Structure 1
């Protein structure tokens, strides 16, 4: 079965909710959704974080990246960029890059922000850069997904997104849900096609 890895970091819970919606889209396409997170990077070196999370999704390993047929990556916005915790994990993938182990696989991105114009698109674009170096195939959301034309919250052609609000109290809107599900399906379809007829 085609395996799609949904790799994310979430601090307030909304990026995790998007990850779960995207996973539903993957499963809807008869593919396996594997959800993984990354540990929080701390500047407190006296008390390192446990290598096993106390609750929630388990931490990703580079083997998860090797084993997947498609990848969907999510992070909350930090000053228009991905969170340091996700970047720290991505920075550990040099060996995969040297051996071209991710080249030719589809990859897509998602995010959430507390303010409506808080850097959703710049965060999505910045997350693409390391995976272009890996030789992955960027997958966005086309405007055939009509929720892109009507959303008044999150949702971009660069990937699904959510506007969580200043107090993180905005629920995920119907348009945001539709786009997250569509993103999971789209990556699963591409991963299935590339797996059955690899060309790169």
Structure 2
């Protein structure tokens, strides 16, 4: 988990105590330095924080369709959420990675809309 995200969760004690975020949907966009750099493990670690807050984790599963199965290029992301490989910080996201991030945003918006209508 990025230091900034850990600092956010570490500072959320009062929100946790009052369960202010309970029932609210959440997801993650992740970035790691290399392939096999822990994108899924990063999401798993963050999910534990959501559970303590009573939040609803919204994974994207394989709803991105064929883009989730592309093997002809390097791409980040997983069923847990969009992701990129940052390398040394100079690598730009691929079109597939950007598309996955956009898909996740739209997917989350659809889930939020359905929750509001319930």
Query: Structure 2-normalised TM-score?
Result: 0.88
Instruction: Identify which of 48, 51, 62 aligns with 1:143.
Output: 62
Q: Measure how far apart 1:193 and its partner are.
A: 1.8
Between the aligned partners of 1:168 and 1:96, the Cα distance in structure 2 is 33
Between the aligned partners of 2:34 and 2:26, the Cα distance in structure 1 is 26
Whichever structure has more helix as a proportion of its residues is 2
User: Larger Cα Rg: Structure 1 or Structure 2?
Assistant: 1
Q: How many residues align?
A: 115
Between the aligned partners of 1:100 and 1:192, the Cα distance in structure 2 is 22
Name the residue aligned to 1:158: 80
Whichever structure has more strand as a proportion of its residues is 1
Q: Is the 8 A contact 1:105 1:194 kept in 2?
A: no
Name the residue aligned to 1:100: 19
Query: Structure 1-normalised TM-score?
Result: 0.54
CA RMSD, 1 decimal: 1.4
Write out the 4+ residue segments of structure 1 that deviate beyond 4 Å after TM superposition: none
Q: Measure how far apart 1:85 and its partner are.
A: 2.3
2:106 counterpart of 1:185: yes
Instruction: Identify which of 45, 49, 69 aligns with 1:126.
Output: 45
Q: Measure how far apart 1:117 and its partner are.
A: 1.1
